[in-house]
Amino acid sequence: MNTLRRRILLAGVLIAGPVLCRAGDSVLKSSEWTLRSSSGTPVKVEALVRTALQRNFGYRSAELDLAVARADRGAAAGEFDPALSADFNGESRQSRLVTTPGLLPSPATVNRDWTANVALSKQFTFGTGLTLGARSTLTEITPQSPGYTSDVYAAVSQPLLEGLAFGSAATAARRADLGQMAAEADARRAMEATIATVETAYWTLREKEHLEQVSRDSLNTAQEMYDRNKKMNALKLMSDFDVLTAESGVAAREVSALDAEQARKDAMEALVFQVYGEEALPELRRNGLSIVTTSDELQTPQNLDEDKLMEEALSTRLDRKAAQYRLKQAEASRRSARNMILPNLDLAGSAGGTGSRQTGGKEDLDDSLGDAADRKSKFWTLGLTFKQSIGNRTDRNRYRAAVSARDQSRLALLTVENQIRQDVRTAVRAVRYSLERLEKAARSRDLAQRQLNGEKKRLQLGLVDSFRVLQSEDNLSQAQRTYESARATLRRDITAYELAIGAIAKRYGQ
């Protein structure tokens, strides 16, 4: 009996020892895995983020919104560019003068006027319009000689009530300026969101890689245990039931390994599509693009003071700045609409020099323009224009709509501020719990490792069967999965934390 026991123990040590040692080593070195199940060059998250900032759909769309806002601002500012105008018109009248009833009328008189005008005008943001121009009129009265009358003038118009400093062009320019500022803030916030999205997908892929490695190591251990049991069974040292137990463990772990491989590939493709945008599918099909994550150093946030972080986030978050700019936009529209309720009272005036020549010579045009420029004869005009819509329902209702739009923008700003406070509190809470979860998961993993080591020794002594070893190995695999998931969750929570306080782009020099 003792001889038989020694033979069993010797066979167990020779066959099971290398198997279990390899199983223990694979677990102990899990933090330094180089994945056998996936191929590709390891890529750092920083490189993927920089690629995504060139190709990601969301960020590119935000950049296009900014380009539209810049174009709108340029178009609004163009309303105040100087304008050059020129016009030419002619008029002809034929008349007969009857001086005595019953007698034939006098010969017909033909009057023809040909007028040319050139002017340079500019509109200012406070409503003033300035025009500098020159005009000349050729008058032909048959049978008299033709004559020229020329003016060189400056004209000014100024709204005194409606349109004073709040005209439609000035308001459009102000709104366009604020719109560009809001779009710039939106674009930078979209950049932060893109960074967070890529980082989250990256850490999810890293988690799936580790979980796949845990599953494959577990499968290898079960396979080696099955091979060992078959050899022991061939030596008549182990029952058929123990072989069946080991084979069942292999089958279950094969399913887990397939599920883990699929999850890793799904996570990898999700990351590829986030990073490469429209080029993702061609890259996957043409080059078989595969991303493998690199090792990382876990750096946890030092500041978890919610009150200070909320104050910091409210001062730095770009979505709040964008909401503030849109509130200013709405306020500019409200002030303009309020001004439009006032009556239209415009002051207009002009002054300049005039000259006339009717010698019939070729120099009459030049001489008349020269006399006008020298102001040998002067003129001026001054006038007021008043206009008021009876009831003024249109402007009053536009003002009411502008007030409501301004109030909506104020509520939108308050909503963003509340969301920022909630984001910070949620992110801080998540980091705290994740730190505690990771600590407990590490302890659970260490205890499971110690349990497996104990069962391994007991198997070598013939005190337990392979089922107990596989059960302990399964417990260790599950503890390792929990640990890797907790580590990845902490990574994602740190990303969410940095996004919540508006500091995520600083790590990339943005």
Asked whether residue 155 carries a pLDDT value surpassing 70, the answer given is yes
Among candidates 459, 9, 462, which has minimal Cα distance to 224? 459
Among candidates 7, 42, 15, which has minimal Cα distance to 291? 42
Mean pLDDT of 126-136: 91
Q: What is the pLDDT of residue 205?
A: 93
Mean pLDDT of 177-199: 94
Q: How far apart are CA 479 and CA 211, in angstroms?
A: 11
Asked whether residue 381 carries a pLDDT value surpassing 50, the answer given is yes
CA atoms within 13 A on the CB side of 89: 4
pLDDT tens sequence across 302-356: 888 999 999 999 999 999 999 999 999 999 999 999 988 999 999 999 999 988 8
Q: How far apart are CA 320 and CA 145, in angstroms?
A: 75
Q: What is the pLDDT of residue 33?
A: 30
Q: What is the pLDDT of residue 35?
A: 32
Percent of the chain with pLDDT over 70: 87
Per-residue tokens: 305: 């003071």
Amino acid at 81: D
Asked whether residue 221 carries a pLDDT value surpassing 60, the answer given is yes
Q: What is the pLDDT of residue 147?
A: 83
Confidence bin at 202 (pLDDT 50/70/90): very high
Q: How far apart are CA 164 and CA 182, in angstroms?
A: 26
Q: What is the pLDDT of residue 99?
A: 60
Question: Given the structure tokens 């604020």, which residue do they identify?
Answer: 178
Asked whether residue 11 carries a pLDDT value surpassing 50, the answer given is no
**Three-state DSSP class for residue 68:** helix
The angle, 0 to 180 degrees and rounded to 10, between the axes of the packed helices 240-276 and 45-55 is 40
Q: Which residues, 6 or more positions from 141, have their beta carbon under 8 angstroms from its beta carbon? A: 109, 110, 111, 112
Within a 10 A sphere around the Cβ of 350, how many other Cβ atoms? 17
**Three-state DSSP class for residue 176:** helix
Q: How far apart are CA 420 and CA 309, in angstroms?
A: 10
Least confident of 160-164, 378-382, 402-406, 481-485: 160-164
Within a 10 A sphere around the Cβ of 112, how many other Cβ atoms? 15
301 neighbors 431 (Cβ within 8 angstroms)? yes
pLDDT tens sequence across 464-500: 777 788 888 888 989 999 999 999 999 999 999 999 9
Mean pLDDT of 181-185: 95
Q: How far apart are CA 255 and CA 55, in angstroms?
A: 37
162 neighbors 342 (Cβ within 8 angstroms)? yes
Amino acid at 108: A
486 neighbors 434 (Cβ within 8 angstroms)? yes
Mean pLDDT of 222-233: 87
231 neighbors 89 (Cβ within 8 angstroms)? no
Confidence bin at 108 (pLDDT 50/70/90): low
pLDDT tens sequence across 436-464: 999 999 999 999 999 988 887 887 777 77
Q: How far apart are CA 393 and CA 166, in angstroms?
A: 19
Among candidates 228, 265, 298, 271, which has minimal Cα distance to 465? 228
Asked whether residue 28 carries a pLDDT value surpassing 80, the answer given is no
Q: How far apart are CA 357 and CA 24, in angstroms?
A: 113
123 neighbors 172 (Cβ within 8 angstroms)? no
Amino acid at 184: E
Mean pLDDT of 74-102: 82
**Each residue of 180-213: b (16+ CB within 10 Å) or e?**
bbbbbbbbbbbbbbbbbbbbbbbbbbbbbbbbbb
Confidence bin at 14 (pLDDT 50/70/90): very low
pLDDT tens sequence across 360-370: 667 878 888 88
